[in-house]
Structure 1
Amino acid sequence: MSAQHSTVADLSDQSVMGDQRLARFGRSTLTIGAIALAVAAVVAWRQQDAHGFAMIWLQNAIFVLTLGLGAFFFTLLQHATGASWGIAVRRIAEAQAANLQWIGLLFLVPMFWLLATDRNWEGAGAHGHGLALIWPWADLAHLTAEAPAEGALVAAKSSYLNPQFFMIRACFYCAFWAIAAGWFFRTSRKQDHTGDPVLSKHMRMASFPTLILFALTSTFAAVDWIMSLSPAWFSTMFGVYFFCGICAGGFSVIALAAIRLQRLGYLRGVLTDEHYQDLGKFIWAFGVVFWAYIAFSQYMLIWYGNLPEETVWFIARQIGDWSLVSIALIVGHFFIPFIFLLSRWMKRRKLTLGIGAVWMLAFAWLDIYWLVMPVIPADVATYLTYDRLAQAYHATSTGLGNPLNYLMFAGFIGLYIGSSALRLSGGAVLCKRDPRLAESLGFENI
């Protein structure tokens, strides 16, 4: 067993209650995010590329969604398993998960606007009317005229892939996430005031059905918003792959928030090396190892099956500059963090864990970019060999040099961090009256 803690947990108001220190940090971060989004709007207006802007918006909205879903999953997992170590960290996750109350608007507002205007989008990458600016199946007639074979495949899915049902599902996903995450946050905060242990039982019992709905909604959202960007393609493992991305980004930002709070003077002696080690375990297990297992399994099964409607999705990510991104993900999302966070010592030190978390957050963003941005060549079926296709598309660009990518990232992540900080500033940053808090404070790894 590890050595006894050398510090005593400081449960004074200055250590566990949010105040102006956190509020100032939240307001400054929100301001940075708002400025970044304003600059992004100017850049987008100058570029005059509606499809490109829409795809960058979608990619970054999905990324910030994964952070909120990761925090929500962490919260649910702590309740469902009854783990005591996570109680000291849970409020940080709850506050971040509560961002799901507004993150859904990043999807619903643009979707309803596209559906209502039903504009015929023209230019590179556009696919027809309304939602077809992003999702080609939304204008089946236009898709069939451009690619008859793909249109025939998509027509068979039209009972599911149609704008009306698509919007109904999107509203359900966002409403469920917002209501459920908000309820867990409010109930946990209520316990801070009442100290009622029954509330812990209520949250534990609610976590089981919520986990099931979480799995279903996150899977179907991944299918609807990402997989249907290439509507003829399918993978039964895609939802699990998306879940790995949720864990990689969500757990990393929880660890970074915990480190930042302690540097601001909160949670002194509350969060110890033991808690950081377990946070590092979560990042390493779910975001690194499980991600690599699912990614390899998905690729191997599609490669072995060798069905053209499946393999073209990966081919689009192996041509031109996309091959470099694919290699970067293999190395940066698995090999480097696998080795870096493997040691117990690396997970127990705030500096090294913080470096690992920032690294994983960056590659979680790149992973979403890799999922959303590549386009399957329309004439892919006309090439007899892969080498000929690769030669024809050797100059394909990833678009990573577009400043909109980073302005949108800074804008959305600023809103996410700022909202979380302001939410924490209005109360305790710790589940201070949870009946098992003492167990969490005294937790030690074996």
Structure 2
Amino acid sequence: MSHAHVPIDLSDRNIELGSTGSVARLACFALGILALIAAILLAVTGNVEWPVFWRSWLQNWIFVLEISLGTLFFVFIQHLTKAGWSTVVRRPAEVLASNLNWLWLGFVPIAVLIFMGDAGKLFPWTDMAMLAEEAPEEAHLVEGKLAFLNVPFFMIRAAIYFIIWAFLGTWFLRMSIRQGRDGGLAATRTMQKMAPVAAILFGLSVTFAAFDWMMSLSPAWFSTMFGVYAFCGTATCGFSVMIIVCLLLQRNGYMVNLITREHYQDMGKFLFAFGMVFWAYIGFSQYMLIWYANIPEETGWFLARQLGEWGWFSAWLLFGHFCIPFVFLISRHPKRDWKTLMIAAVWMLFFGWFDVYWLVMPMIPHDLASFATYDAAAEAYASERTGIFRPVNWLLLVGMLSIFAGVTIGRLRSHPLVCRKDPWLDKSVGFENF
């Protein structure tokens, strides 16, 4: 990389939203609340079963959570590597990551459901009597995991995750704001020292949260690679939204001559590397090892995602999350053009949601192990449906994403879009790829 001298416009008009976005913010809140109410009414009126509603709630909440976790990863990895190129794009990422201090609210209904003893259809390990009646062999396996999978410890772990994420998301934004106010190197050095700690806490918390909230939906199943796969999901969603936000800001006349094609190319590289290549590598490695070992407790999870419509769904995930965008974004040119990069980011964001749906929504049939051959199981469950077109899925997606967007717009209005006194700012604005 190299650096060129470029005039820096740090005027309020260029890097502060002011009253801009107030209508969009209110519209997002209104749309989000109405969509959530409509989704709840579908369940209350019996148009969708409550277990389906709660599974869809969990899926969409995890998707929105992944956006903030992915941008948090971007923030601390820049400080960890002492990267200067990203200074002008870091504030939008910091704001997106700061949403972690309120996203825990989406978990509250799930927690209430568990405490009320009604979560057996969502997390089978919370109702061992029902599990033993429906699938005694599975219940026998799960009994050995109850030291970990029990309600008190589950809730304690959830609280720890939320505390870690809320602290890191809020702390990095506050330190960046302090840097913009006071200048100097103190805040930068403090964030660089904090970055390794953040990386360790992030890696552990994301891994165990994935075990708790997604892997334990099928409690007899296990995969030591699942946490890394879940991390790829956070990178996909976080980098996609970060690109979308930066492009929308610039298309509306902000951050002019601050974010350039060079920065978009590097953000595109991040999306390409983590959201496509690393995701495919981890996904293939996990599948290959489980297929090769051929252990029934492990293979059933993938078999459930090949029955009926889920087979086509899995194929679409592979092509949509990797094959198609890999070809589209492998060249430097689509990363440097705002139109093609926007298309890629929106596409990858959708398939990030698609991926979480694939992880959360399928249920392993309790009698799957009783079939002598795969063909017999495939024939018995040929009518299995994905349910992706259920209105409740899209209402919850629109509701949660709209509220997330509304809060994000409000926070972007509250702070300058660039850290004015960051010591790396000059180099960042003049950054060029070789």
Q: TM-score, normalised by structure 2?
A: 0.97
The CA distance in 2 between the partners of 1:383 and 1:133, in whole Å, is 23
Please tell me whether the aligned partners of residues 235 and 274 of structure 2 are also in contact (alpha carbons under 8 angstroms): yes
**Residue equivalent to 1:395:** 383
Shift of 1:193: 1.7
| Cross-structure match for 2:95 | 95
Which residue in 1 is equivalent to 2:39?
40
1:92-133 Cα distance to aligned partner (Å, 9 max, x none): 0000001111111211x1133123323xxxxxxxxxxx3324
Q: Could you say which residue in structure 1 is the equivalent of 2:231?
A: 243
- Please give the secondary structure, in 1, of the residue aligned with 2:21: helix
SS of alignment partner, residue 271 of structure 2? helix
Aligned to 1:271, the other structure's residue is in SS state coil
Deviations 1:241-287 (A, max 9, x none): 00111111110000000001111211010000000000000000000
Conserved in 2, the CA contact under 8 Å of 1:101 and 1:178? yes
d(CA) in 1 for partners of 2:319, 2:61: 25
Alignment-derived partner of residue 77 in structure 1: 77
Give, in angstroms, the shift of residue 427 of structure 1.
1.7
Q: Which residue of 2 aligns with 1:147?
A: 135
8 Å contact 2:114–2:126 — kept in the other structure? Answer: no
> For residues 403 and 143 of structure 1, what CA distance do their matches in structure 2 show?
29
**Cα pair distance change 1:75/1:98, threshold 3 Å:** same
Query: Which residue of the partner structure matches residue 13 of structure 2?
Result: 14
Listed as ranges, the gaps of 5+ residues in structure 2 are none
1:4: Cα distance to partner?
A: 6.1
**Structure 1, residues 41-96: CA drift from partner, whole Å, max 9, x if none?**
22232225110100000000000011010010000111111111111110000000
Equivalences for 1:252-331 in 2 at 5 Å?
A: 252-331=240-319
Could you tell me how far apart the structure 2 residues matched to 1:48 and 1:68 are? 29
Q: Aligned residue for 2:360?
A: 372
Tell me what 1:123 maps to.
none
Stretch moving more, 27-36 or 91-100: 27-36
Structure 1: how far apart are the matches of 2:246 and 2:34?
A: 26
Does the 8 Å contact 1:21/1:264 carry over to 2? no
Give the drift of 1:2.
8.6
Give 2:239's aligned amino acid.
Answer: F
CA distance in 2, matches of 1:327, 1:385: 21
Is 1:356 aligned to residue 344 of structure 2? Answer: yes
Q: Is contact 2:4-2:431 (8 Å) kept?
A: no
Tell me, in whole angstroms, the C-alpha distance in 2 between the residues paired with 1:82 and 1:430.
17
TM-score normalised by L of structure 1: 0.95
Give the corresponding residue for 2:209: 221
1:195 alignment partner, one of 176, 183, 186? 183
Describe the superposition over 1:307-349 as per-residue Cα deviations: whole angstroms up to 9, x where unpaired. Answer: 1110000000001000011000111110100010011010001
Deviation at 1:189, TM superposition (A): 1.2
**Partners of 2:33 and 2:127 in 1: CA distance:** 34
Q: What is the CA-CA distance between 1:382 and the residue it aligns to?
A: 1.5
Output the CA distance in 2 between the equivalents of 1:266 and 1:3: 22
Q: Does 1:179 align with 2:167?
A: yes
Residue aligning to 1:413: 401
Give aligned pairs, total: 433
Matched to 2:202, the amino acid is F
- What's the offset of the Cα at 1:220? 0.1
Please tell me whether the aligned partners of residues 144 and 151 of structure 1 are also in contact (alpha carbons under 8 angstroms). yes
| Structure 2 counterpart of 1:137 | 125
Question: 1 CA distance for matches of 2:40 and 2:347?
Answer: 28
Give the match's secondary structure for 2:359: helix
1:433 shift after superposition: 1.3
CA distance in 2, matches of 1:179, 1:2: 35
Q: Distance in 2 between matches of 1:398 and 1:44?
A: 18
Moved more, 431-440 or 23-32: 23-32
Runs of 5+ consecutive residues of structure 1 not aligned to the other structure = 119-129
Counterpart of 1:444, as a letter, is E
Secondary structure of residue in 2 paired with 1:395: coil
- The partner residue of 2:426 within 425, 430, 438 is 438
